[in-house]
Structure formats: C-alpha cells, structure tokens
Structure 1
Amino acid sequence: MAARKGSRNFLHLFSLPVLVFCLCFGTLFVEAKHNYRDALAKSILFFEGQRSGKLPRDQRLTWRSHSGLRDGSLAGVSLMGGYYDAGDNVKFNFPMAFSTTMLSWGVLEFGGRMGSEINNAKAAIHWATNYLYKCATATPGKLYVGVGDPNADHKCWERPEDMDTPRSVYSVSPSNPGSDVAGETAAALAAASMVFRKSDRRYASMLLTTAKKVMQFAIQYRGSYSDSLGSAVCPFYCSYSGYKDELLWGAAWLFRATRQTYYLNFIKSLGANDATDIFSWDNKFAGARVLLSRDALLNKDQNYEPFKQGAEDFICRILPNSPSTTTQYTPGGLMYKLSGSNLQYVTSISFLLTTYSKFMAVSRHTFNCGSVVVTPTTLRRLVRRQINYILGDNSMRMSYMVGYGANYPKRIHHRASSLPSLFKQPQSIGCSNGFQAYYYTSNPNPNLLIGAVVGGPNQNDAYNDDRTDYSHSEPATYTNAAIIGTLAYFS
C-alpha cells in the first residue's frame, strides 16, 4: 500500500488551556483535560485480552480463557503462549516481536513515570519474551515465526478458545532465511533484556544471549521471510520494506544492550541514507535512527551524527508546518498516513517524536526544518494533539480507546470480544457459525476489550462503528505497544 497524497497547507500547531473551544485544522471541538494515567493503565490491560496459552490466575480480563494449548505440536515442539496480533487467532511473530520491542522501549525511556503500572507493563513484555525465547531455542538451526494457518483462520469467526483451524507452524532457517523477522526478534529480546536487567539478571542474560544468536542468524543468512514463507505471511504481514531496516534495528538494539563495537561497525556498514516518513511493524529505519541519535545528542559522539541527521530529516517530513513535510493531516489535525489502521502509524510516530524531544531537552538541542526552528516543545505539542485526538478531542467526540471516556467503539473487529465468552456460552461456536449471529449483527460486542486502540477514523475524521470495517475498527498489539510510552510521559 502507498500513503495517500494530500494538501500540505497546514495551520501551525499551538497549545491551549483545557476546557476551551479550540479551532484547529478548521474543525471546532472542545479540548478536554485527559486522565493519561487511566489511559495508560487501560492500554496495558489490553494485552491481557490478546494472550494465547494458559492464562494465569491473576488474569484481569476474565472473559478470556485458555487457548492454543497445543501450539507447536505439529512441529514436535511447545510454542504455547505469546499474543494474537489483532482481531484474529493467529500468532504472527513479526508484528508480535515489534510490539515487544516497543513495549520495552517505552519502559526503558519512560518507565519511571509509569508508577504502579510498571509491573503490568513488565508482565506484558514477559508474556511475549517467554514465547519468543521458545521460538528461538526450540529447534537448533530454526527460528519459529508463527503459529496458525492465516488463510484458514480468516475464513472463520470463532473464539480463540474454540479454534479448530490448523495450527500450522512456520519457521525460517539457513535454507529458507528471514532476516527481517529474525532481526526484529533479536531487537525484541535485546530490548527486553535491559528491562529485566535489574529485577531478574538471570532471565535478562538468557534473553540477551539468545538475541545475539538470532541476530547472527539474521546477518549470516540473508533473505526476506516473505520470500521464504509466501502465502503463510502475505498479504497479512509481508515485509514490504525489505530486511535492511530490521538488520539496522536489531543491531542498534544489540549495541545499546551490549556496547560491543561489532554491532556499531555493522551498523556503519549498512549506512544511514534511506529516507522515510513512516515508522511501523514493517519499516524500522526511523526508529533505528532515533535510537542511535541518543548517543549523538546525550554523549556528543560524532559516530552517530549521520543517524541524528536521518532522524531529524524524518521529523521534518512529519511536522505539518515544515517546508519538507510529506505527511497529510485530517481537517481535525490527526496525522494520516495510510487508510488501513492509520492509528498504528500515529502511535508509533508519536512515540518517536516524544523520545526525540526527551533527548533534545536533556541535551538542550534544537534544529531547523528549513526556516522553521524545532524545539522539544514543538514535538511535544504535536504529540499531545495526536494523543488527545485519540482520547476524544475530535469532531466525532469519540475516544478511539475502548473503555476510555464516555463514547468509544462498541463494535470492534475482534473475534474474542464479539463472541460470547466461554463462561456465558460453554458450547463450542463453530468456524462459520459466528458470522451471522455475531459478526454481522449491529449489537455491541458482549466483551469489553478495555484499552484497545482501534484503526481509527478516515481522512475526513469520520468513523463508523462497524466491526465489518476492519481497516478502521480492528485493534492491534503494535498500535497499543507504541502508545504506552507516550501516555506514560504525559501522565
């Protein structure tokens, strides 16, 4: 898919006091004071609704139950656990690993602002890394990268607890490489190792050792997992941007975790000249550059100057009043990148801007986009506008986070949420039986997937609360993972 092109004439963003009428981007709405700490707690809770495997006794979303208990058995291994990526019942490791990396990055940068939620955030990371570790170590010479036949799964509308579609197991190997998914898995394990370094040194060491091995596999056996696995991952999570970005991303995280010059030299060999105006589960160039800019800004290390320049070029492509912007905004001021699940790009890019503003503030750094001077406040104001829009400051007066505010999506595209729980209806609901009774109905979903951030409105700020409109009504782990650090900052 390609980003939509649109007008580049945007009003300069500005901050306003709470509870005033605000005329921004031509749309009138009331800007409310938001409870970012409540939104943070809910956005983390969402991950409990996405859990696969045997649920723990302290599971808080109690309408979910055990599922996928035999995952991996078709390959003779145990791959129980992990997360369903969005509203389906498949475990796609590529976006799952990215979600894990972003959760970990949020904790590393803003964990000090999470208060009591830090333990829930760590639990969300732990649930993912336990699974990713098994995928990386279950069989020598293989990296398991997914469980569940996506083509069969997407023909069904059934609870994860009732799954009767094939739980096919997919892997990459030296003869069928996947540098992209391996690089992302290495990034996830390396980032998480730093999260647990103080609280569980043995676990952190185990994750880091595995991350190094997986990264070496990504480097040594080059190739895209889309080419190796075909219809098992495409068109669902094709690696459209190739694998160079994951090699850069994985090496950047391993360098931050180890400070070994091997990774720095490898990073330099990849270069820093791939311009981009997006950041997502597929394209990591901007994220790697912001991550590597940390040393340029905080330590004044000239080795990282090209990455700082790349990060600032990316930001200039995002800011609405920049002469080099390539980013469309809706009339209501929402960043608009792609028509499919646009809020995933809003939350991911907002996290990068928040993190870079932190580095800028600490180092007292500013830069220019043409004649426009960019300060930490410039970035924070834009990000706050994006987060407030998601939480309800928009012409629809709709919070796009389920369970937050008075008006939020009630008919999200999510199997477990839209079907009665096992506790309400113990009888199995077959593959096709869920469509007529639960998928096409106009009734609200019976189970509240608290904290889920949906795909969001269209380019005109309009949103139809319709579960069949998956590009706007489906939540995803990578959308939520990216918003958590930003919410922690504002809370």
Structure 2
Amino acid sequence: MPSYMSPSSHSETESVKYVHTISEAGRLLPSASQWNSIEIDFNLVPQSSSEYGSLPSRYSKSFEYELIITDKQYFKRFLYISVSVVLLILVLILLVELLPHKHSRHGSSKNLTLAVNQALTFFDAQKSGNYPKNSPVKFRGDSGLQDGNSSTPPVHLVGGFYDSGNNMKFTFPTAYTMTLLSWTVIEYHQKYDDIQELGHVGIAKNDMSCWERPEDMDYERPVSICDSSASDLAGEIVAALSAASLVFKEDKDYSGKLVKSAEKLFEVATKEEPDRQGTYTRSDDACGRESSSFYNSSGHTDELVWGGTWLFFATGNVSYLGYATDAFDAAKSNETSIDNGILYWNNKLTATAILFTRLQFFHDLGYPYENAFGESSEMTDSLMCSYLGQNWDKTPGGLILQRSGNEAQLQFAATASFLSKLYSDYLQVLVRSGVNYILGDNPMKMSYMVGYGEQYPTQVHHRSASIPWDGNHYSCEEGERWFKSKDPNPNVVVGAMVGGPNHFDNFTDERGQPVFTEATISGNAGLVAALIALHHPPRHASHDKNGTHLGLDKTGLFENILF
C-alpha cells in the first residue's frame, strides 16, 4: 500500500483536517518476507501401511511352461515391436507427468499471472514524488516535489499516485483503491505470494489545460483542505488505513499507527452533528469543489459504514460493527438507483453487504447484528442472481453494462468479477467472462490492458506515456503537439486498463477520446482484484474439508476478532 493516510495533528477540540493527497509514495503491497508460508507435503505416491509385496500369498503356486521358437526372424520382429511399444508407453507417461497441465476447471488459457504482473505495474507508472530507481517503468522520474508548498500553512504532500493520465492526486479514489487492493491481499495473499507479487504491492486550471508530463510541471499546485465534515472522505480513509493495517500486520509498529490514525479520524467524523456530515464535493464547500467534476460523491453514509466495518476487522472492537450495522439501512436508503448493485469509488454498499454476509456465514454474531446481516445476505443473493439473469444490459460481445451512458464500463465489470468470485466459485463461467473480455476475448480482439496480448491500445490518454522520455523539457505548448499526434505513444504504460468499448463493443484508440483510452488507478484496482481472485490456487494452498483449494484465507480477515 502507499504510505498510510492520516489526518493532520490537532487537539481533540480542534477540527481535524486532511488533504487531497497521500503524504508519501510508500509500498503498494507488503514484502514477501512479511508473510509466513505454510508448506504441506503432498505424498503423490500412496504409501502402504504394510509391505504386502514382501509377503507370499497363501494361494501362490508354481507352474512350468515350455517355449518353442519355430522362426527366429519372426521372434526378433516380435521383440523389436514389444520393446518399441514399451518405450512409447514410457515416453507418453513422462510427457504426461512433465508437461504443464491445463486444468479444465480454470476454463481459460489466459495467462493470468502475466495479467496480474502487468496490472500492478500500472501503479508504478502513476507514482508521484521521488521516483524509485529500480522501478520497472523507465519513462518516469521525480515529479511533484513541491506539492503542498502552496498551502497555508505549507504541508508535506510529496508522493502518492497521479490519477488516470492526469497530473492530479485525489484522496477519495486513491483511498478506495488502497482499500480494495488491501482487501485482495488479505483474502488471497497466498496467490500473491505464489506469483511473487507480495513485494510489489506498495486541481488547477493549468493541470487540465496543459498536456505535460508530471516531471516537467512548473505551474502552481494548489491544495484543497477538508475538515471532518467531509464524512465520505473520512470514511474511505478510515477503511484504507484499517485494511492496510491487516496487510502489514507483521510490522506491528506500522500496523498500529495505521489503526490509531483510523480510530482517531473515525471518532471525529462520526461525532459531527448530522447536519454537518456530508460529502466532500458539496457545492458550498471549497474542500472538494475542484474535484466535483472528476469524482463527485453522491453520499456519505456508505463510506462511514464501510469505514466502520473495516475498523471492526482491524481492531475486533464490536462498537465499530455496531455503528456500521445500525447505519446500514440509512446507507441503503441513500443509495442512488444508478449505483444499485455496483462497487466502485463512489459506492461501497454492495461490498459492505458481502462483508456482512461473510461474517454471517463464518462467524454469525447474532444479536444485535442479525437484521443487518440478514438484509445483507438477501442483497448479496439477489446481486449474484442478477449477474446470471437479465437484470443488466449486455454488449453484443457479452460485456455486462451496469451503468448507462458513456462512462468507462470495464471498472464495473472488473469489480463485479471480483465480488462474484469472492462470494461463490459456482459462478466461474460468468466471473471469467468479464476478465477474459478485458484481456482480448471480445469482438474487437483487443486486449484492453496495455502491454498484454498481441493487440492493445497504443494511444492511451496518459501524459507520461504520450511524451517522449528523452531528457528534454517540454512546455505545455510542446506537450499539446504530442496530445494531438496520431502516432502511438512513445512509452507503453504497461498494465493500464483503459476505459474500454462502447455499448456496441466498438473501441476508438484515440488519445483525445479519454472515455475509451483513459486508465485510472481505481479502475485498475478492480482489475487487480478480479485477476488475483481468478488466479490459479497457490501450489501450497491448504485443502479444506471438501477437498478443494481456492487459495482463500477464510480466517485472516477475522484475526483481531474474539468469538
């Protein structure tokens, strides 16, 4: 995860403020050394409890046969054929044992390991601040090193992640991205470890009018500051901090700091009077006014419920679960119809319902939570059935359209794949269809993840990718030339999932049409979540009582809860 997001230091009587960025670049996922793998010895050759081969049978008898060879030439031919057949059988056995097996249960020849690797690499291309020297992305460097200096008083805002192909940093979608990625590490850490990716996973007018690499920025970088009345922003940051604390659980000091910051922020956010609680992008508040045209929040109750739920998992304190379950009905009633059943940066209600359902399945706490748990279970069942039914429109190529209009549809398909796979492996066919569509199984025969497959978008709407990394400084005017160029990007932003096709499976690979070619960190988080959930089980995954091994950690999320 990137460095943890925490509120600025204030006394309890002061209004807590936090800013629209992440304070440091930090890690995306924990080091592989922070997880202890459990080795299981699989005895592929059955071992007998008694050596029957050494015991003579009480029914054994000896017989004598006399073999007469009448034609030596036929006998030699018989021996050659017999030896050849035996050798052929041995070769076939060796091939079966040594060649890679393609299990039919996986249902696809897609290289999901490569897909996960590349999807995570996209986040390397989005990093701001002091750029790591060992990054796999070679067309990026130090940028945004003065971020926060324009604030009064100045604050340290160097680091974090740029959003999409822009040079802006938004806390709201970044916090959602970190929560979602942390969730996948908690649930599927064995899969990440198996493919050696645990170590990987660490608004100005000028910004929009200037097509310029982040390394070349020389214009003012204004800072938006919010107080604790920005309830949705606070709730999402609490969720990110809490989920990250479970990812970094072996680093007790760091994990403890994450939890402490989350608890403090949740306390001040939930203590606000109801009439002061609201969204960070409300029109009368300068906090997120600039963000409203990019990530306009439609409500705040779902984020507070989401934050309270993750804080319960992080601490085991049932008071946080009590808050979340008590406020669940309010969050449900405030959900907009267009967001119903969708998980993305603006709506966390569906994901919360699945977490509640998970609790009910494995650790039903009973009173006073049963109403919220029961309602969540019904919501989840209905959602899963809707994926198989006719509730959603589909493109001719089979992509489920969960939102009307011209929005980037793949982010919704990715999170739907993640949630359905997490909830039930019986939805295997549906789950894989969304990811396979993204990776190239579509009418355009286009992989919508850059760098994956033989054909993928070449004009990604991305400043760093579209301007040559040649040591020269390019001004806004010079950058505009690259923006309008019809040539492929000089730099390949590997792993970026673009917006995707329209409702008729048609895709336009043009830099100037971001609805098709723009990639976002929140969209890629959903892709990573779907890919790791679909990935083959780790080689050393433990078997449950039913004999299956999914690579799912059934108890990791409940580690801090006493039953």
TM-score bracket for this pair, using the shorter chain length? 0.7 to 0.9
- Aligned match for 2:430, one of 374, 379, 382: 382
Residue of structure 1 equivalent to 2:293: 235
Cα-to-partner distance string for 1:40-68 (whole Å, 9 max, x where unaligned): 11111110000000012221101100001
SS in 2 for 1:122: coil
| C-alpha distance in structure 2 between counterparts of 1:255 and 1:184, whole Å | 14
Q: Within 5 Å, give how 1:101-180 maps onto structure 2.
A: 101-114=179-192, 115-123=194-202, 149-174=203-228, 177-180=229-232
The answer as to 2:263 corresponding to 1:263 is no
Q: Residues 44 and 120 of structure 1 are in contact (CA less than 8 Å); yes or no, is this contact kept in structure 2?
A: no
Q: Deviations over 1:137-190 (max 9, x none)?
A: xxxxxxxxxxxx24331111000001123211111114xx21011110110010
Please report the TM-score for the alignment, with normalisation by the length of structure 2.
Answer: 0.70
Give the Cα separation in 1 of the matches to 2:160 and 2:145: 11
Match of 1:209 in 2: 260
How far is 1:116 from its partner?
4.0
Instruction: Give the 3-state SS of the residue equivalent to 1:172 in structure 2.
Output: strand
Indicate conservation of the 8 Å contact 1:107/1:118, yes or no.
Answer: no
Secondary structure, in 3 states, of the residue corresponding to 2:224? strand
Q: Give the strand-richer structure, 1 or 2.
A: 1
C-alpha distance after superposition, 1:71-99 (max 9, x if no partner): 11122111111101111000001001101
* Correspondence 1:321 to 2:365: no
Q: What SS class does the counterpart of residue 225 from structure 2 fall into? A: strand
- Which residue number corresponds to residue 419 of structure 2? 352
Tell me by how many angstroms 1:32 deviates.
6.2
Matches within 5 A, 1:189-228: 189-198=241-250, 200-221=251-272, 222-227=277-282, 228=285
Question: For residue 46 of structure 1, what is the amino acid of its counterpart?
Answer: F
Corresponding residue number in structure 2 for 1:463: 507
Q: Equivalent residue for 1:63?
A: 139
Post-superposition shift, 1:310? 2.2
Query: 2: CA distance between counterparts of 1:152 and 1:230?
Result: 17
Q: 1:117 to 1:218 in 2, by over 3 A?
A: farther
Matched pairs, number:
408
Displacement after TM superposition at 1:305 (Å): 2.2
**Per-residue CA shift, 1:359-411, capped at 9, x if unaligned?**
xxxxxxxxxxxxxxxxx31x222110000010000111100000000000000
Other-structure match for 1:474: 518
1:299 aligned onto 2:299: no
Contact 1:249 1:285 in 2 (8 A): yes
2:509 and 2:407 map into 1 onto residues whose CA distance is 15
- How far 1:118 moved relative to its partner? 3.2
Corresponding position of 1:94? 172
Q: Matched residues in 1 for 2:477 and 2:418: separation? A: 39
Would the aligned equivalents of 1:179 and 1:217 in 2 still touch at CA under 8 Å? no
Higher relative contact order (CA 8 A, sep 6+): 1
Counterpart residue type for residue 111 of structure 1: H
Q: Report the Cα distance in structure 2 between the residues aligned to 1:268 and 1:42, rounded to whole angstroms.
A: 38
Helix, strand or coil: the match of 2:281? helix
SS of residue matched to 1:226: coil
- Extract unaligned runs of 5+ from structure 1: 1-17, 21-30, 124-148, 358-375
Q: Could you tell me which residue of structure 2 aligns to residue 309 of structure 1?
A: 378
- Classify the secondary structure of the residue corresponding to 2:479: helix
SS at match of 2:444: coil
Alpha-carbon displacement from aligned partner over 1:321-364 (angstroms, at most 9, x marks no partner): 25xx2x2111111111332111111112221112111xxxxxxx
Asked if structure 2 preserves the Cα contact closer than 8 Å seen for 1:87 and 1:413, the reply is: yes
Partner residue of 1:4? none
Q: Which amino acid aligns with 1:315?
A: M
Contact 2:239 2:311 in 1 (8 A): yes
The question of whether the paired residues in 2 share the 8 Å contact of 1:400 and 1:408 is answered with: yes
Determine the C-alpha separation between the residues in 2 that align with 1:381 and 1:298. Answer: 25
Q: Which amino acid aligns with 1:220?
A: K
Name 1:188's counterpart in structure 2.
240
Q: How many Å apart are 1:309 and its aligned residue?
A: 1.9
What amino acid maps onto 1:215 in structure 2? F
For residue 487 of structure 1, report the CA deviation from its aligned partner. Answer: 1.3
CA distance in 1, matches of 2:355, 2:396: 31
Structure-2 separation of matches of 1:411 and 1:218:
42
CA 201–187 in structure 1, closer or farther in 2 if over 3 Å, else same: same
Q: 1:166, 1:220 → 2: CA distance?
A: 35
Question: For 2:348, which of 284, 290, 298 is the aligned residue?
Answer: 284
Secondary structure of 1:420's match?
Answer: coil
Which secondary structure does the structure 1 equivalent of 2:506 belong to?
coil
| Cα distance in 1 for residues equivalent to 2:219 and 2:347 | 30
**Structure 1 residue 489, shift from structure 2 partner:** 2.7
* Correspondence 1:36-55 to 2 at 5 A: 36-55=112-131
Please give the alpha-carbon distance, in whole angstroms, between the structure 1 residues aligned to 2:496 and 2:288. Answer: 30
Matched to 2:171, the amino acid is: N
Once residues 224 and 471 of structure 1 are traced to their aligned partners in structure 2, the CA distance between those partners, rounded to angstroms, is 25
Provide the C-alpha distance between the structure 1 equivalents of 2:205 and 2:349, rounded to a whole number of angstroms: 30
Deviation at 1:306, TM superposition (A): 2.2
CA distance in 1, matches of 2:413, 2:121: 20
Q: Which residue of 1 aligns with 2:37?
A: none
Q: Deviation at 1:119?
A: 2.5
Same amino acid, percent of matched pairs? 37
Paired with 1:215 and 1:103, the residues of 2 have a C-alpha distance of 21
User: Cα gap change, 1:404/1:159 in structure 2, threshold over 3 Å: closer, same or farther?
Assistant: same
CA distance in 1, matches of 2:376, 2:341: 15
The structure 2 residue matched to 1:331, chosen from 386, 389, 396, is 396
* CA distance, structure 2, for counterparts of residue 382 and residue 486 of structure 1: 12
1:371 matched residue in structure 2: none
Cα offset, 1:230, TM superposition = 4.9
Work out the CA distance in 1 between the residues paired with 2:196 and 2:400.
Answer: 28
C-alpha contact 1:183 1:250 (8 A) present in aligned 2: yes
- Which deviates more, 228-237 or 32-41? 228-237
Deviations 1:254-286 (A, max 9, x none): 111112111111112213444622111011110
Q: Partners in 1 of 2:467 and 2:234 — Cα distance?
A: 34
8 Å CA contact 1:32–1:393 kept in 2: the answer is no
**What amino acid does structure 1 have at the position aligned with 2:170?**
F
